[in-house]
Amino acid sequence: MKTARELKQVDGEKYLTVEEAAEELGIKSNAIRNYLCAEKLTTYKFKTLTLLRSDEVEGWKQRKRSKH
């Protein structure tokens, strides 16, 4: 995983935790962590939290829908 982008503050509407992103995508949180390690999703850090941008997760959700 490349260096995570550090955040000074977090807008709760723009970011999701790993668990929230997994729930949104209907997959396990380990799969999200694998995507982060493979640099398929951008990692953001706020203190001890690992976060993802909600718009990036929504893009993955749309691609997942279009494959079905």
Q: What percent of the chain has pLDDT over 90?
A: 62
Q: Integer distance in angstroms from the first to the last C-alpha of the chain?
A: 29
Asked if the model's pLDDT at residue 67 lies above 80, the reply is no
What range defines the domain where residue 62 resides?
5-67
In this prediction the pTM is: 0.82
Asked if the model's pLDDT at residue 1 lies above 60, the reply is no
Residue in 5, 28, 10 with CA at minimum distance from that of residue 18: 28
Domain count, the chain: 1
- Tell me if 50 sits within 8 A of 4, measured CB to CB: yes
CATH number of residue 12's parent domain: 1.10.1660
In whole angstroms, give the CA distance from residue 27 to residue 43.
17
What average pLDDT does this structure show over 27-32? 95
- Tell me if 25 sits within 8 A of 64, measured CB to CB: yes
